[in-house]
Structure 1
Amino acid sequence: MYSVSSIANAIRNPRVVCEEANLLYQHGFGFRETAAHNENGVDILSEDWDNLVILDACRYDTFRDLASELPGTLTKAESKASATNLFLRANFTDEELHDTVYVTANPQLYRIENGVYDVEPIHVEFHDQIDVWQDQWHDEYRTVMPEVVTEAALDAAERYPNKRLIVHYLQPHAPYIGETGVEHLPTDYLDFWGSFNDGEIDVPLETAKQAYRENVEVVLPHVSTLLAEFDGKTVVTADHGELLGERDSPIPIRRYGHPAYANVPALLEVPWLEYETETRPDIVAEAPEQAASRGGPDSDVVRERLQDLGYAE
């Protein structure tokens, strides 16, 4: 069940044993095969929307506190998963979405579908998939800035007026590009919360929390732009939340980031903001764009992008 490397890691870091024990208590043995997603989570594809805006790692409570000026009605929803790769699997596996265009700053789906890592493909087919991260990666901040995602989303809306549109921002996921993050958080750690969790980063928790809040603030003006420009019904949500020091159970260790399979409230509770214009588009399913003709990046490039975001191989 456990590899030699994972056992060695547990010996070096006993905290890992506590984390695994909590997961076993919550899910039972074999949970990586049987409890990959939250059965109570919202089925995003079956919901009524023309445009779905996904904020990566956005907590419901933080969004609620900072997004009060956005138009629309905000409620709390549950995500199907605590991490992006599981969210994608839970919502998109074996789906033929010829009426949908996916604009994404996150390389995870490309990684899964194109064998960058040795994992089972999801087998999802969109009318078109626009991987903004391929040519709009910000090398200094090691992320995709929200403004280029907004531009790509508006271009897609103009190009595909009769398609559902999914727009996946990276923010508020680390790296933190607000003032606090840039000035006070170290940039030489690829997995910020993992390193923070292991005690390798000497930064006050409140400083890290403020950097997270600012990453939400950074992306909200772009959400506002899409709400103003998109036609039809737009939903703003998140793939999962973020742990900012909440205690796990039954062993009450503090957790950070968004560990896979940790189906706890701070990770599963996400915003669900609905805003609708007077008219809605007529959505039509059509044969996909020829993705092969667009080519793709080298596998090493994809790995580098994922490592910049803190995803280990």
Structure 2
Amino acid sequence: MTFSDWIRKTRTSVRERGPVDGLREGGYELYIGGLRRLNKFYPGTTNVYDREWDVLLVLDACRVDVIDEVADEYPFLNRPDELVSVGSSSIEWLENTFTERRRDEMKRTAYVTGNPFSHRVLDDDSLRKLDEVWRYEWDDEAGTIPGRPITDRAISTKRELDPDRLIVHYMQPHFPSIPDPLGGGMNAETLGEGAGWEDPWDRLRKGELTRERVWRSYRDNLRYILGEVELLLGSVDAERVVVTADHGNAAGELGVYGHPKVPIPSIRRVPWYETSAEDTGEYDPKQDTERSARDEGTVEEKLSALGYL
């Protein structure tokens, strides 16, 4: 955002919200804009390709402390560690993970993803396999993509293709929360129009929700997706599995909320739990033979539904 863009946006905010709230929003945007300029200088980042793993399970926007809170409920989360992510947002993580330098490793990698930013960075020729599940399993009512289609496609990919490396990118615990939506996601009528759902982190910043309320919804969404992780771990064979995140979330640290592209530890620090997987053969994934991929023009609508635009 340029300075002139900021002026225009602030004027609109003042007109729509009144001078106090409008200027407060403008001040926040100016502050975030200043922090963004420092983002590329964040020290100590680690590309996941520099670590050893066979299957990498990426939980979108998962804070280190929230997964620590529930770790004792899941036996596979018994080896805690963390790293500094290469990005403060999904698009930044993708751009800095799948680089030209990693071309050979990417050609041995299958990527099953629910994150719509994949279309801006990757194509079918980038990897051994690219399965953009968000294109055909999006849930309009929830305003996101649930975990089960990702789990099913990941299991099928591992069993049928058995790539050297498999990355599975879940959208949870990123809001909207499936078990506790705090007003719900965007539906088919409002999708992409900026109505029907507002990021709970922004609502927390504005005082519309308490931290306890937002944190409970966030934590429940994490438990929801860890249930999918548990199912996957019993449905594939892999010696080295890692549960991690692309980035974290800010909950008021340094006055920041959510995950704008800013260099602060609550966003850049991500969990790194090592475990293993063994296929019991008890679960058969759903095979969807009638995928209804939407027009390319609706990609931005999906990003908007997740609060990215």
Considering the TM-score relative to the shorter chain, is it more than 0.5?
Answer: yes
What is the match of residue 175 of structure 2? 174
What is the match of residue 80 of structure 1? 86
Cα distance in 2, alignment partners of residues 81 and 191 from structure 1: 23
TM-score (norm 1): 0.78
Count how many residue pairs are aligned between Structure 1 and Structure 2.
Answer: 274
What is the match of residue 91 of structure 1? 97
Do 1:197 and 1:255's aligned partners in 2 also have CA atoms closer than 8 Å? no
1:47 to 48, 51, 61: 51
2:67 to 63, 66, 78: 63
1:153 aligns with 2:154: yes
Inter-CA distance 195–269: structure 2 relative to 1 (3 Å threshold): closer
**What amino acid maps onto 1:263 in structure 2?**
P
1:17 to 27, 40, 45: 27
The more displaced of 170-179 and 3-12 is 3-12
What is the match of residue 104 of structure 1? 113
What is the match of residue 307 of structure 1? 304
The root-mean-square deviation of aligned C-alpha atoms, in Å, is 2.9
SS in 1 for 2:140: coil
1:219 aligns with 2:225: yes
Do 2:115 and 2:169's aligned partners in 1 also have CA atoms closer than 8 Å? yes
Inter-CA distance 301–22: structure 2 relative to 1 (3 Å threshold): closer
Inter-CA distance 37–130: structure 2 relative to 1 (3 Å threshold): farther
Do 1:241 and 1:258's aligned partners in 2 also have CA atoms closer than 8 Å? yes
Task: Give 5+ residue unaligned stretches, structure 1.
Answer: 115-122, 249-253, 279-293
SS in 1 for 2:57: strand
**What amino acid maps onto 2:165 in structure 1?**
R
Do 2:109 and 2:163's aligned partners in 1 also have CA atoms closer than 8 Å? no
1:142 is displaced (CA, Å) by 1.0
What is the match of residue 288 of structure 1? none
SS in 2 for 1:154: helix
SS in 2 for 1:301: helix
Do 1:177 and 1:215's aligned partners in 2 also have CA atoms closer than 8 Å? yes
**What amino acid maps onto 2:270 in structure 1?**
V
1:185 is displaced (CA, Å) by 6.0
Cα distance in 1, alignment partners of residues 296 and 43 from structure 2: 33
**What amino acid maps onto 2:306 in structure 1?**
L
What is the match of residue 136 of structure 1? 137
Task: Give 5+ residue unaligned stretches, structure 2.
Answer: 14-21, 187-194, 279-290
SS in 2 for 1:229: coil
1:297 is displaced (CA, Å) by 4.2
SS in 2 for 1:311: coil
1:189 is displaced (CA, Å) by 4.2
1:237 aligns with 2:244: yes
Inter-CA distance 43–186: structure 2 relative to 1 (3 Å threshold): closer
Inter-CA distance 203–41: structure 2 relative to 1 (3 Å threshold): same
Cα distance in 1, alignment partners of residues 93 and 171 from structure 2: 14
Cα distance in 1, alignment partners of residues 185 and 275 from structure 2: 38
TM-score (norm 2): 0.79
- Structure 1 moving runs of 4+ over 6 Å: none
Do 2:111 and 2:131's aligned partners in 1 also have CA atoms closer than 8 Å? yes
Inter-CA distance 67–176: structure 2 relative to 1 (3 Å threshold): same
**What amino acid maps onto 2:57 in structure 1?**
V
Do 2:59 and 2:172's aligned partners in 1 also have CA atoms closer than 8 Å? yes
